Amino acid sequence: MTSIRWAFNTSRWEPSESEFLLASSCLQIEEKNRIDKLVFKKDVKASLIGRLMIRKFISDTTGMPYNSIELFRDTNNKPKYVTNSKTPIVSFNISHHGSYTVLAGEIKQTNIGVDVMKLEYNGGKSVNEFFRIMNKHFSELEWNKIRGTLQTSEQNKIVNFCRNWALKESYVKAIGTGLTVNLSKIIFDIHSKLEQDQIITNTMLCINNKIQPWTFEESLLDSFHCVVVALEQQNYVPQSSNNFIFKKLNLNQILQNAIPLLPQDFEYCKRYF
């Protein structure tokens, strides 16, 4: 396989004390300290799983010993790992939202971004008011797709919005700029409806009236979450579709070959619980 797509349902994971002690000991100290600053348990779980996924991916695909992997963040705050002339180069990105943490990886050097979105809106304002506030981030073409027709239900409009937002997020994460760019200039032209157990790859990206050499893998993790992988590549040759459907891992699989980097920290564990 040249592509890895993993997902973990953090909403279904209520860690035991022993699980949390082991998982948190498999991090670098700066990662552990960063996670310790998070306020909500759901964010701690999502971030912790994300870092463990990265370590598993790098170790599994490069052969680097788990406890020799040194992670850092580049100038765009993207997670990277320290390499030398003998280290195989792989590319990856992670995202978490709603119930899931996801990782998308390629066994090569390329720009890749991933974004998962829960298909809901609970911002407190009406959907129409929310769309008015977000108007500047989408083109007229995109708003037409988001709003649909007079018969389009409010829920379907929200689903359309989340899908378009995930497309933009995946792209800006791949190029490393984050949401600092003018999102209305990054225009997506959607041609197919998302369906369960299918990968959509015919959505096109247009910037300055020019189609860009990018592929976007869109799929549903379940009825309530969509996920998009952005890949920069000229010639997209799809492999077996199963390669691109996200494999849902459990904790044992994520920690299968993990080697602790730090001693178990009972005070850290106590703060979480």
CA dihedral for 93, 97, 98, 99, sign (positive or negative): positive
Q: What is the structure's pLDDT at 244?
A: 60
Architecture, CATH, for domain 115-232:
Alpha-Beta Complex (3.90)
Question: Alpha-carbon Rg of the chain, whole angstroms?
Answer: 19
| Mean pLDDT across 144-172 | 95
240 has a pLDDT exceeding 70? no
Q: What is the structure's pLDDT at 85?
A: 85
Q: What is the structure's pLDDT at 242?
A: 53
Q: What is the structure's pLDDT at 236?
A: 58
Cα–Cα distance measured from residue 78 to residue 75, given in angstroms and rounded to the nearest whole number: 7
Q: Which two tokens stand for residue 121?
A: 């809106």
Q: What is the structure's pLDDT at 179?
A: 60
Confidence of residue 238 (pLDDT cuts 50, 70, 90): low
136 has a pLDDT exceeding 80? yes
239 has a pLDDT exceeding 60? no
Q: What is the structure's pLDDT at 2?
A: 86
Q: What is the structure's pLDDT at 69?
A: 95
In the three-class reduction of DSSP (H, G, I as helix; E, B as strand; rest coil), residue 237 is classed as: coil
Average pLDDT, the chain: 92
Tokens 């994520």 belong to which residue?
Answer: 254
pTM: 0.93
Cα–Cα distance measured from residue 197 to residue 245, given in angstroms and rounded to the nearest whole number: 7
Confidence of residue 234 (pLDDT cuts 50, 70, 90): low
| Mean pLDDT across 113-135 | 94
| Mean pLDDT across 147-173 | 95
Q: What pLDDT, in 10s, does the model give residues 65-109?
A: 999 999 998 888 888 999 988 889 999 999 999 999 999 999 999
Domain layout of the chain by residue ranges? 1-110+233-273, 115-232
Q: What is the structure's pLDDT at 273?
A: 95
Domain 1-110+233-273 matches domain 115-232 at the CATH topology level: yes
**More confident: 100 or 123:** 100
177 has a pLDDT exceeding 90? no
Angle at 232 between CA 229 and CA 234, to 5 degrees: 125
Q: Which two tokens stand for residue 27?
A: 């991090």
CATH of the domain spanning 1-110+233-273: 3.90.470.20
Q: Give, as one character, the DSSP assignment of residue 246.
A: P
200 has a pLDDT exceeding 70? yes
**More confident: 184 or 235:** 184
241 has a pLDDT exceeding 80? no
